């Protein structure tokens, strides 16, 4: 009688028993557990069969000079080794999934994906759209999803600012400022300032420019195709400025430099400052609140009722790295890289996670527009996602989010 493709009956029983033990040893796929949390077991079994069976079949009739001298032994050993490797691969995928899901439950939401054709880094919102900068230039994205390419030949873009009344987009590099028409494709870009800068912000229709050693306020004028900038005020700024924002509440400009957040009047007269627990990356304002994204330290929430003495009132630390954050009402929106975009309720004394938008790959920036739409910048997906979030719709425990 033939022994069959897997040798004797005892060997086949042994292989079947090993397979059963491997399957039963792992967690079950109950409704309370997502399948992606148990990939280490699936990979272990799959790799064991993928390696063990071919090794068993390949050694038919071969003489093996080792301690393991039979086909059955070779098949079992190869299966164990393959299973171990598969388990380790699956374990890493499980760990990555767990880290991604640690920020909170997934949100179910409607969205529009807008391909950008560049690797995006950050964006500046304006009424009716957003200006996106990154590797490969800049893009103006309108609310209907229209994408206008700007500055494709410009390298080293640091920031952007939009002056809609002048139909003007300004891009900053460390060597100069370059102006482009916002929506008019017929006009070309032009260098409008030879000093350059790292950070831009529109303050009362004027342009605030932070450079390597100064902070300037410029008046911007445009006559047909001619763009001119005139200095209104300037002062020395020794610390590198990472972000500037202007708040309609109290009409205050906020300048973030390392771990200091300073307040200014629209004419750049200093009002006050506060020392933050750590260096910040970005600052956004909504009403009397400020949100400072601080990387591994999460997000600092500040009360700016008195702009001369702002104070940190709470911290959100539910993500591994906060790239940027925006505020709308009592909700905080956090760009958390590979974890997605977290939505946090900040109405109470302690931040409470509502859910996480995960239909994206790597979020580097987020802006909430006047209509409540959330603009999510996806670096790895090279796209801008315009989302209509319903924070009441949270996916169940078995949701298939990445």
**Which string of DSSP letters, residue by residue, matches 170-223?**
EEE-SS-EEEEESS-TTSPPEEEESS--SEEEEETTEEEEE-SSEEEEEEEEEE
Same domain membership, residue 86 and residue 157? no
pLDDT at 56: 52
Cβ-based neighbour number of residue 159 at 10 Å? 25
Domain boundary among 207, 238, 269: 238
pLDDT at 66: 52
pLDDT at 303: 97
pLDDT at 31: 39
pTM of full prediction above 0.85: no
Same domain membership, residue 82 and residue 25? yes
Same domain membership, residue 93 and residue 14? yes
Domain assignment of residue 176, yes or no: yes
Domain assignment of residue 43, yes or no: yes
pLDDT at 212: 83
Low-confidence ranges of the chain (pLDDT < 70): 1-103, 392-402
pLDDT at 184: 84
Same domain membership, residue 154 and residue 91? no
pLDDT at 390: 78
Same domain membership, residue 16 and residue 88? yes
pLDDT at 28: 38
How many domains does one find in the chain? 2
Domain assignment of residue 388, yes or no: no
pLDDT at 237: 84
Q: Counting beta carbons within 10 angstroms of the beta carbon of residue 167, is it exposed (0 to 12), middle (13 to 18) or buried (19 or more)? A: middle
Domain boundary among 206, 238, 270: 238
pLDDT at 401: 37
Domain assignment of residue 166, yes or no: yes
pLDDT at 185: 80
pLDDT at 32: 38
Residue 22 dihedral angles phi and psi, to the nearest 5°: -60, -40
pLDDT at 43: 53
Domain assignment of residue 84, yes or no: yes
Domain boundary among 101, 134, 159: 101
Domain assignment of residue 180, yes or no: yes
Domain assignment of residue 340, yes or no: no
Range of the domain at 73: 9-101
Domain assignment of residue 344, yes or no: no
CA-to-CA distance for 250 and 265, rounded, in angstroms? 9
């Amino acid at each position: 009688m033939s022994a069959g493709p897997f040798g004797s009956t005892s060997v086949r029983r042994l292989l079947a028993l090993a397979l059963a033990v491997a399957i039963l040893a792992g967690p079950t796929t109950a409704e309370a557990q997502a399948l992606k949390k148990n990939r280490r077991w699936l990979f272990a079994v799959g790799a064991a069969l993928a390696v063990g069976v071919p090794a068993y079949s390949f050694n038919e009739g071969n003489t093996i000079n080792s301690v393991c001298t039979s086909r059955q032994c070779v098949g079992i050993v190869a299966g164990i080794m393959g299973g171990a490797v598969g388990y380790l691969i699956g374990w890493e995928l499980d760990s990555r999934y767990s880290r991604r899901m640690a920020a909170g439950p997934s949100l179910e939401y409607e969205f529009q994906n807008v391909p950008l054709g560049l690797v995006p880094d950050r964006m500046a919102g304006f009424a009716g759209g957003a200006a996106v900068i990154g590797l490969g230039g800049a893009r103006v994205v309108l609310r209907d999803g229209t994408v206008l390419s700007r500055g494709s030949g410009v390298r080293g873009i640091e920031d952007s600012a939009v002056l809609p009344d002048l139909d003007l987009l300004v891009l900053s590099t460390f060597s100069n400022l370059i102006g482009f028409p916002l929506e008019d494709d017929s006009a070309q870009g032009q260098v409008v300032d030879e000093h350059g800068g790292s950070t831009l912000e529109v303050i009362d229709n004027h342009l605030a420019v932070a450079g390597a050693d100064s902070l300037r306020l410029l008046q911007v004028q445009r006559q047909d195709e001619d763009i001119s900038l005139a200095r209104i005020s300037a002062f020395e700024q020794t610390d590198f400025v990472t972000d500037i924002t202007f708040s309609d509440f109290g009409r205050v400009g906020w300048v973030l430099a390392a771990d200091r957040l300073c307040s200014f009047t629209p004419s750049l007269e200093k009002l006050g400052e506060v020392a933050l627990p750590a260096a910040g990356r970005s600052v956004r304002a909504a009403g009397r609140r400020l949100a400072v994204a601080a990387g591994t330290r999460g997000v600092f929430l500040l009360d700016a009722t008195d702009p001369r003495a702002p104070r940190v009132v709470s911290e959100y630390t539910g993500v591994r790295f906060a790239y940027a954050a925006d505020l709308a009402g009592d909700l905080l929106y956090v760009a958390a890289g590979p974890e997605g975009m977290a939505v946090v309720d900040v109405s109470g004394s302690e931040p409470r996670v509502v859910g996480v938008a995960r239909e994206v790959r790597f979020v580097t920036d987020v802006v909430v527009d006047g209509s409540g739409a959330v603009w999510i910048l996806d670096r790895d997906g090279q796209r801008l996602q315009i989302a209509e979030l319903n924070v009441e719709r949270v996916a169940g425990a078995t949701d298939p989010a990445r």
